[in-house]
Amino acid sequence: MSGTSLDGIDVVIADLHGHGRQLRVTAWYGASFAYSEELSDRLAKAASEESIGVADLSQLNVRLAHEYAQAITRTLAAREDSIQSLDLVGCHGQTIRHLPDKAPCLGMEVHSTLQIGDPATMAQLLGLPVIGDFRLADMACGGQGAPLVPYFDYVIFTHDTEVRGCLNLGGVANLTVLPSGATIDQVYGFDTGPANMIIDALCSRLLGLPFDEGGEIAKSGVANEALLSELLQDTYFLSEPPKSTGRDYVNHAFLRRLLVRSDHISAEDLIATATALTARSVWQAYQAFVEPQHAINRLIVSGGGAHNQTLMDLLKDCFARNGCAVDVETSDSYGIGVNSKEALCFAVLAHESANGIPTSIPSVTGADRPAVLGKLCIP
């Protein structure tokens, strides 16, 4: 898995058995590999509104497949494990565009998404079947192609008596709601808005740092409440699910509006404001779109944002201050590492897809029917 933060690749090697809520992860281990600064910059350019040549994009598509394959072999080598021990690889790819809302294209309304890191190249490099390009099948059924993590949340975290929320804080934040004893058609979820993407971008542009380690910069600043209130009125936050977003919208809608204030508001206060925006937008989404149907008992947080203690404290404060009896904890408490969850998710999705089991959830994506996700490439 490589996410919208553009910081690197997470690899998980897992033993999976069964399907649906009977699926069990009997053993797993993982590793993370940072992108080189040059590769991260090239991917950021490709994923931004700046134009990139088709030849450059074509080259990146194959170059990234080599990067993914190398990450897998390095993970195996560190455990003295063999490539022959693997049956299948699932790879999300690197999102370059995510356009979930239909728009005119040559006389037809279409929506689309583009992830690079060619799975056919990976299959030949590794000598293994690879499933990639997971999102377009759901879009072909009328869905937004995202979020896809809710299937994993349903399989791993559904509880017989607790209503649970699963919040992933990657570049973008997404929330899954699991009613107690839920069947798959009772699961719902959506992208709540930015998570680390804006915080990281501000740290890079204003302070020359890759991210706010532990949330210490945000802790040293003070959120600008007037600016925060303005940002929380963005149409994305107010629109009802199903909905998903990505770098295309988030950078345009939020980053630019924060950067234009950088001459008048300190870097620390801007980063504090962006951190508060993530926490407050999650809470606002919960109040508007979840609480009227299900008051959650437990919020399970994963993703890089789970390491940001200031962000975690703000989330806990939002729920506690508003009288909600919600336990906020990380997925580490359930044996699912916060950095590894999404990679493990795409192992699960690949496992299910190889067995012909649909993993898109129409109540999440808005599709008219479930779909078996991904393209299978055979070496």
pLDDT in tens, 163-192: 999 999 999 999 999 999 999 999 999 999
Together in a domain, 36 and 160: no
Together in a domain, 30 and 82: yes
Residue 374 makes CB contacts below 8 A (sequence gap 6+) with: 90, 131, 132, 133, 134, 137, 349, 350, 353
- Which CATH number fits the domain that encloses residue 290? 3.30.420.40
pLDDT, position 215: 98
Together in a domain, 178 and 279: yes
Together in a domain, 296 and 204: yes
Residue with tokens 């997470």: 10
Together in a domain, 216 and 133: no
Q: Are 47 and 39 contacting, i.e. CB atoms less than 8 angstroms apart?
A: no
Q: Which of 167, 149, 163 is nearest to 316 (CA)?
A: 167
Q: What's the pLDDT band for 322 if we cut at 50, 70, 90?
A: low
Together in a domain, 206 and 73: no
Q: Determine, yes or no, domain membership for 268.
A: yes
Question: Does this model's pTM top 0.85?
Answer: yes
Cα 36 vs. chain centroid, distance in angstroms?
Answer: 21
Q: Count of domains in the chain?
A: 2
Q: Determine, yes or no, domain membership for 61.
A: yes
d(CA 101, CA 110): 8
Together in a domain, 94 and 204: no
pLDDT, position 247: 86
Together in a domain, 291 and 254: yes
Domain interval for residue 160 = 149-334
Helix (H), strand (E), coil (C) string for 96-117: EEEEEEEEEECCEEEEEEEEEC
pLDDT, position 6: 86
Question: What residues form DSSP beta bridges with 132?
Answer: 91, 375
Q: Determine, yes or no, domain membership for 1.
A: no
Together in a domain, 120 and 255: no
Q: Determine, yes or no, domain membership for 366.
A: yes
Structure tokens at 265: 């508001």
Residue range 109-120: average pLDDT? 97
Together in a domain, 321 and 356: no
Together in a domain, 113 and 48: yes
